[in-house]
Amino acid sequence: MGEIALSAKDLSVYYGEHRAVKNVSLDFAAKGVTALIGPSGCGKSTFLRSLNRMNDLIPNCKVTGEIWIRDRDINSRSTDVVALRQKIGMVWQRPNPFHKSIYENIAFGPRYHGIKNKKQLDEIVEQSLTKAALWEETKDRLHKSALALSGGQQQRLCIARSIAVKPDIILMDEPASALDPVSTAKVEELISELKQEFCIVIVTHNMYQAARVSEKTAFFLHGQVVEYDSTDKMFTDPQKAETSDYISGRFG
């Protein structure tokens, strides 16, 4: 697969007694998109949230197993979770810009991580918005509220915000499901650009989207990974009957 940015090894996630993710082991390429697909409730989002320890915030949630980024297991107690989330960004289903200007949305993270120089921040804002294909649309209104942007622009702003702190990995939980078709196409185009530079893991309900944007796909069912393969193979010649049934729309 080439260089690996992230590996889950024998990962299980429990909500109280309920085991939502069961012994999942997956490797993710350093540059490329992996799609996580499967019917509602099969554990995709729970697994995704484990990858940057967002499940720590859920009181009765317990995670076992290992998640390796380079030579570190991020589940170890010594992990600095703030530094970890700088390296692993997250984009949610609904765009969630801060109630601040476009500029401040982007500058917030780098400033929090110690960059105070205005010229440097200006550069980061421009670069991040450019990479998120949003610069042309926003360069004349940087100091206006981010909430005045359209939903699709807000989602690209959230992607720009996550890029601004120079992550290695970007996790996306159904990032286009709240968007109209034109905005969805723009976000998909953006994902296709970003995969040249980042490891992207995306949860999607939209099989066509998985086929369009990802090189690898993992099919989840009842908390387990049934099949993990190149997206082309998975969609044209799945090896497991459950995958074939799901992809052809027979359930889920």
Ligand X SMILES: Nc1ncnc2c1ncn2[C@@H]1O[C@H](COP(=O)(O)OP(=O)(O)OP(=O)(O)O)[C@@H](O)[C@H]1O
Which positions touch ligand X (CB under 6 A)?
15, 20, 38, 40-46, 58
- Residue with Cβ nearer ligand X (58 or 148): 58
Q: How many Å from the N-terminal Cα to the C-terminal Cα in the chain?
A: 29
- Residue with Cβ nearer ligand X (55 or 101): 55
CA–CA gap between residue 11 and residue 51 (Å, rounded)? 10
- Residue with Cβ nearer ligand X (64 or 120): 64
- Residue with Cβ nearer ligand X (14 or 98): 14
| CB distance 230 to 202 below 8 Å | no
Q: Quick one: 178 exposed, middle or buried, by C-beta within 10 A (0-12, 13-18, 19+)?
A: middle
| CB distance 37 to 204 below 8 Å | yes
Q: Tell me the closest approach of the beta carbon of residue 224 to ligand X, in angstroms.
A: 12
Q: Tell me the closest approach of the beta carbon of residue 34 to ligand X, in angstroms.
A: 15
CA–CA gap between residue 252 and residue 245 (Å, rounded)? 9
Q: Tell me the closest approach of the beta carbon of residue 193 to ligand X, in angstroms.
A: 26
CA–CA gap between residue 144 and residue 198 (Å, rounded)? 29
Q: Name the DSSP class of 204.
A: -
Q: How many helices (H) and strands (E) does the chain have?
A: 10, 10
- Residue with Cβ nearer ligand X (38 or 110): 38
Q: Tell me the closest approach of the beta carbon of residue 252 to ligand X, in angstroms.
A: 9
Structure tokens at 23: 């012994």
Q: Tell me the closest approach of the beta carbon of residue 55 to ligand X, in angstroms.
A: 8
